[in-house]
Structure 1
Amino acid sequence: MRLRLKKISDQVIVITGATSGIGLATARMAAARGASLVLVARNEDALQQLTEELRSLGSDARYVTADVSLVDDVKQVAAKAAEQFGGFDTWINNAGVGIFGKVTEVGSEDMHRLMDIDFWGTVHGSRIALSHLKTHGGALINVGSAFADRAAALHGIYSAAKHAVKGYTDSLRVEAAEANMPVSITLITPSAIDTMFSVHAKNYLDRMPKLPPPMYVPETVASAILHACEHPKREIYVGSTARLLATAAYQTPRLVDKAMELLMFSLQKTDRPASEQPPHNLNGPQRDLDERSGRTMYAQKSSWYTEAVTHPAAGLALLAGAAVAAAVLWPRPQR
């Protein structure tokens, strides 16, 4: 069965975690392309402001205040979409939280809370979305992480949650295909992205945390997500780093262990004391409506790898251009 998805401008899109980082960038980009939106987050004030912003640009945006770890809250999201739009075409499970700290030091209550949001929030959203999409057709998009392919030091429980998201999504995709559901199920696998993740995370370190380089801007992920809204894709890696990490983790796991041992602890600490870390958002929303953290001096604005995967013709053109440039600039031997 060949699945055809609607153009973004004809879609109703549900976005969880819509008031910060990747979710915020995706909401703004989707609105600019004419989508109708159901925005989901815990921060009602931020949701109201964002909805007004997008409506002022011509988007038909609505919002639902919800905690994705609570299945009844997620059911209300689907009910709102049905009430306002008659349903939805794409559901994006993006909401997530983070913790920086050694797995032996992170409290069990905090680990449970992260798993409730990052994993069970994705499960709740997927199940409720599929109950509609299996009849009406459309796309389910789950945002994972490069740390799903290779667990990272100081991100043990987050890595475990994203491993679980990947396993759940892969299993769900096969079961949906066997049942001939007219649904595209995509896992988005980003590299390190300059979002509010490190600002909002709970911190067990002795200094304020940051993500390791190289980093990409959140628009790179938003672009990949919207590509998956229109084109059935199994998985999209955002940034070559994510793809390389997955390959290295499979081919040379001990070498990756050693590299993390030598680099990951220092690369994930700023020079500022932990006492200056803002309040975390594990148990409730904090400052929202920011896409980027401000903790990195440089984030890549595009990924040739992801462009090549999502737009093969453009990727081949870029590769050909680079080859021509290299041939022109390559020094020729003197006669």
Structure 2
Amino acid sequence: MTDLQDTSNAQVVLIVGASSGIGLATARAFAGRGAHLVLVSRSRPTLEAAAAQCRAAGAGSVRVAPADARDATAIAGIVSDLVDDHGRIDVVVHTATVMAYGQLEELPQDVFTAVVDTAVTGTLVVGQASIGLFRKQKRGTLIVVNSLVGAIVAPSMGAYATAKWAQAAMLRTWQLETRDAPRIRVCSVVPGGVDTPIYYQAANYTGTAARPPIPVDPPEKVAAAILRCADHPRDRISVGLANPITILGFRLLPKVYSALVGPLFRVGALTKTTLAPTAGNVHEPLPDSEGEHGRWPRRWDISRH
């Protein structure tokens, strides 16, 4: 049941991937505006905890809907229920993702497939349900969190790069395909390193634990960019001071990039902590390790474990 209030001014927002990291920070940010929220992720316990935070932050109403983003029937039902409750959806935010570390020749095929499928099929399912509704409403904003890795590649991140490159292509295509409806907007938010739990929730077959590359931004910074997109939609917003330089090097100086990316990745994205092979949260959620923040401050000494 929802605790409905006046919907005339408050935004109606669906957030997929709302129980942890950027999704949770975004949910709390919209709640601070008094938005009516439906929170989606795979884990009910963490969704309930997120909902409690959002109610405390001032949300107009909050409902939780446990579901996998790839489940078209479940997502369509959630969208339909939200429209039944409020008559419309103003913004859909899709942050759900899983990540894997490991060289492509060694990565288990089921892990690779799940990482790509979560990004590609999940975005397709959420996008189809959202844009289909927006066409009926004649307006609405879909905001999808992509990644710096959707514009570059790095060793041991082949699965995630494949997933995010494909997702970026899908979003750009949708931007072209909705040009006939100027009040329907599809936005891509592209962060670099962010202090969230995804790095220790990820599948990992490198032998060492992972961490975000510097500079490390707080998830609240990405959430602020998402809210800006909701207010003033843009095709693409980059979040991360190093993003433009990294992309420029990848595109314009490929030999230099290729020579440097391996050593820099080992120093900046992996730790000295040994780690047994793990599928992480790729196949099933790990509720105990979810949260808004990870284990890394905005800046950290790369010599730390």
Q: 1:204-223 alignment to 2 at 5 Å?
A: 204-223=205-224
Distance in 2 between residues matched to 1:218 and 1:55, nearest whole Å: 19
Distance apart, 1:81 and its partner CA: 1.2
**8 Å CA contact 2:171, 2:188 repeated in 1:** yes
Deviations 1:8-47, CA, capped at 9 Å, x for gaps? 9621111111010000100011101221111000100111
C-alpha distance in structure 1 between counterparts of 2:244 and 2:81, whole Å: 37
Alignment partner of 1:61: what SS? strand
Does the 8 Å CA contact 1:39/1:63 hold for their aligned counterparts? yes
Question: What does residue 41 of structure 1 align with?
Answer: 41
Alignment counterpart, residue 140 of structure 2, candidates 135, 138, 141: 138
Give, in angstroms, the shift of residue 205 of structure 1. Answer: 1.4
Which residue in the other structure is 1:329 paired with?
Answer: none
How far is the alpha carbon of 1:226 from its aligned partner?
0.5
Q: Who is 2:153 aligned against?
A: 151
2:289 & 2:36 partners in 1: Cα distance? Answer: 22
Which letter does structure 1 place at the counterpart of 2:257? V
- Residue 111 of structure 2 corresponds to 110
Q: Give the whole-Å Cα distance in 2 for the aligned partners of 1:73 and 1:236.
A: 29
Q: Quick one: distance in 2 between partners of 1:156 and 1:9?
A: 44
Q: Deviations over 1:268-287 (max 9, x none)?
A: 22222204x88711111112
Cα–Cα, structure 1 residues 18 and 299, in superposed 2: closer, same or farther, change >3 Å? farther
Counterpart position of 1:269: 270
Contact (CA 8 Å) 1:149, 1:245: kept in 2 or not?
no
Q: Distance in 2 between matches of 1:172 and 1:246?
A: 23
Counterpart of 1:293 in structure 2 is 294
Shift of 1:298: 3.4
Residue in 2 aligned with 1:174? 176
TM-superposed CA distance for 1:87, in Å, is: 2.6
State the partner residue of 1:319. Answer: none
Cα deviation, residue 91, structure 1: 0.7
Q: Which moved more, 1:12-21 or 1:65-74?
A: 65-74
Percentage of pairs with the same residue? 26
Amino acid paired to 2:298: Y
Quick one: distance in 2 between partners of 1:298 and 1:89? 32
Render the CA deviation track for 1:43-81: whole Å, top value 9, x for unaligned.
Answer: 001111221232234311111110012211221221221
- SS in structure 1 opposite 2:281? coil
Residues in 2 aligned to 1:9 and 1:35: alpha-carbon distance in whole angstroms: 9
- Is the CA contact (8 Å cut-off) linking 1:19 and 1:288 kept in structure 2? no
Indicate conservation of the 8 Å contact 2:10/2:33, yes or no.
no
Task: Tell me the secondary structure at the aligned position of residue 185 of structure 1.
Answer: strand
SS of the equivalent of 1:240 reads: coil
Q: Counterparts of 1:56-205 in structure 2 under 5 Å? A: 56-59=56-59, 60-136=61-137, 137-177=139-179, 179-180=180-181, 182-205=183-206
Give the Cα–Cα distance (whole angstroms) in 1 for the partners of residues 136 and 241 of structure 2: 36
Tell me which moved more, 141-150 or 44-53.
44-53
Structure 1 residue 212, shift from structure 2 partner: 1.9
Q: RMSD of the TM alignment (CA)?
A: 2.0
Whichever residue aligns with residue 22 of structure 1, its letter is I
CA contact (8 A) 1:188 1:224 kept: yes
How far apart, in 1, do the equivalents of 2:98 and 2:147 lie?
A: 12
Tell me what 2:28 maps to: 28
Q: Is the 8 A contact 1:194 1:299 kept in 2?
A: no
Q: Residue by residue, what CA displacement relative to the aligned partner does 1:88-147 show, whole Å, maximum 9, x if unpaired?
A: 101111100000111111111111111111221011101110011122211111110001
In structure 2, C-alpha distance between the alignment counterparts of 1:123 and 1:31, rounded to whole Å: 26
Could you tell me which residue of structure 1 aligns to residue 4 of structure 2?
none
Mapped partners of 2:263, 2:207: distance in 1: 18
Query: Residue by residue, what CA displacement relative to the aligned partner does 1:177-227 show, whole Å, maximum 9, x if unpaired?
Result: 0x3352111111111111111111011011212122221111110000010
Bigger radius of gyration, 1 or 2? 1
